Amino acid sequence: MKKKVVVGMSGGVDSSVAAYLLKEAGYEVIGIMMKLSDNPDYEETEGGCCSVAAANDARRVADALEIPFYVLNFKKPFKENVIDYFVDEYFQGRTPNPCVMCNRTVRFSELLRKARHLGADYIATGHYATITEENDRFVLRKSEDDKKDQTYMLYGLTQEHLAHTLMPCGTYSKPEIRAIAEKIGLDVFRKKDSQEICFIPDNDHGSYIEKYGGREVKPGNFVDRQGKVLGKHKGIIHYTIGQRKGLGIALGKPMFVTDIIPWRNEVVLGDEEHIFKTELIAKDINLIPFDKIQGELRVTAKVRYSTKAAPATVIQLDDNRIKVVFDEKQRAITKGQSVVCYIDDLVVGGGIIEEIL
């Protein structure tokens, strides 16, 4: 009997080819689009994973592959676990990563739950990463295409997730995936990658929070590191650590956001040297190859998706927290973002940055 797999299809080239590869490998494939966003401004846009256009693209691919396809409503868990979290973090002066939280709480957990109701053995996505079983544990490793590797966003996956997830694109490069789509006649082969937060059409998170956040956004003071008032800001939700552009204040030299103090509604500005740090503490950790870090572990680590992993030492403080000490200073370590640790291409795990030392 064929193994059954539910593929999360977004209408993009990666998930489309993932569905094709799995069908070719002999699986019984079902395509599901997760309807996540309830943003009316996004319904008719061309981009993003929740638009009408994306759903139509996914349905055309499913028809071409001759697999069943359904659009299912996941708006409630997405709002509760991702959007509400996203808004609250900005009001707390932090900069969240909604994709990390979505993968941890919705995209894999909820899709797996739905797949089980359909009698499926696995779920699958178009992510660029690989899952293998080693030493009686499932582990996550970087994809063959280092430029497209998405393991930073996936460090929160548990053993339960990994045991029931397939990522067939992880052993291909992006050009190879596009070539496969073109070869089998899928129009999405030329579709651009989405760069936005999926529930914010123009990537303007500040305007989104002002419109949909349900709270008053109060202007406050820009201050220097000594507390001297430098000018007025338009609300702390509009700023993040390391930001230089878009401050709306002229001080005669480049100034950078070095801290955000929500209880005083202040945004602290300083010189660029003040945004370079070496140590952090992260909470809500998830470790993949083992249950606990013993002693000091040498790793490479990255503090945001777009940066290169740098040499560091990680120490586990308790069941929920790790301390990461980089060999060299890192730019703009930011509360709310995630730190993810690696040994070569193996994902050790990570957590959400709560303190910069």
| Catalytic annotation, residues | 102, 198
- Binding site per annotation, positions: 8-15, 34, 126
Q: What's the rounded Cα separation, in Å, for the pair 76 and 32?
A: 17
- Binding site per annotation, positions for ATP: 8-15, 34, 126
Q: Is 1 exposed, middle or buried (0-12, 13-18, 19+ CB in 10 A)?
A: exposed
Torsion, CA 328, CA 139, CA 7, CA 57, rounded to 10: 20
Query: Is residue 217 helix, strand or coil?
Result: coil
Q: Which of 290, 288, 275, 278 minimizes the C-alpha distance to 323?
A: 278
Q: What's the rounded Cα separation, in Å, for the pair 344 and 356?
A: 25
Q: Is 76 exposed, middle or buried (0-12, 13-18, 19+ CB in 10 A)?
A: exposed
Per DSSP (E only), the strands in 64-172 are 69-73, 122-124, 129-134, 137-142, 165-166
Contact criterion met (CB below 8 Å) for 343 and 279: no
Helix (H) or strand (E) segment spanning residue 6? strand 4-8
